[in-house]
Amino acid sequence: MNRRKRMVLPGRNPVSAPAGRTVHRSPFTVHEAKPWFREPWPWLLIAGPAAVIVAGAITIWLAVSSDDGLVADDYYRRGLAINKVLGRDRLAATLGLRATVSQDGQGALQVSLAGGNALPPALTLRLVHPTRGGDDRVLPLPRVETGVYRAERVPLPAGRRRVILEDEAGTWRLTGEWRLPSVQPLELAPRSQ
């Protein structure tokens, strides 16, 4: 037997309620309390520090996995040696040297050298990565015919390289920039001062 009694509270509409209970009509909706992990605000507050931790871990991984190489400890002597390097460029210009570097479909590199009185029996080709010393390549190029030098099947990673062509003694050099892989030959000339 359910006995209901009518209760009237000040400022409230009367409602019927079971005996011993009071129920109020209110313009506000009452929700049951949820556990904290079902609320969006704690997760929003946790997301910021969690993102910083993930970004820090990625930064540490990048710093460890991509070594920049060592900085030269004799940088002063290397700075003084720049004048000698510029002298190599001037000698190449004086000799009138020019070269064309090309790569065929099998990965062989061919250098055609023109100018100068006596062409050397072999050349050295340096492919220098702009930021990673570990990706640099030094290739000996033996002469296969007059003015033509060749290196067979050289695996070259894609990307931009600074190309330095010099004789074995290092008395002159030709330089240029090359983006690999390339079907276009690279023209090398002495650097203008």
Q: How many CA atoms lie within 13 A of 61 on its CB side?
A: 6
More confident residue, 179 or 45: 45
Domain over 97-188 is classified CATH 2.60.120: no
pLDDT digits (tens, 9 = 90+) for 126-174: 888 888 777 788 888 888 888 888 888 777 778 888 888 888 888 888 8
More confident residue, 55 or 183: 55
186 or 5, greater pLDDT: 186
Per-residue model confidence (pLDDT) at position 31: 61
Per-residue pLDDT tens over the stretch 57-69:
999 999 888 766 6
| Most confident region among 52-56, 60-64, 85-89, 140-144 by mean pLDDT | 52-56
Q: What is the pLDDT of residue 35?
A: 86
Lowest-confidence region among 42-46, 57-61, 180-184: 180-184
- For range 51-58, the mean pLDDT: 97
- For every residue of the chain, DSSP letters joined together read ---EEEE--TTS--EEEETT------SSPP-PPPPGGGSHHHHHHHHHHHHHHHHHHHHHHHHHHS---PPPTTHHHHHHTHHHHHHHHHHHHHHT-EEEEEE-TTS-EEEEEE-SSS--SEEEEEEE-SS-GGG-EEEEEEEEETTEEEE-S----SEEEEEEEEETT-S-EEEEEEEES-SSPEEEBPPP-
Does the pTM exceed 0.85?
A: no
- The residue ranges of every structural domain in the chain are 33-62, 97-188
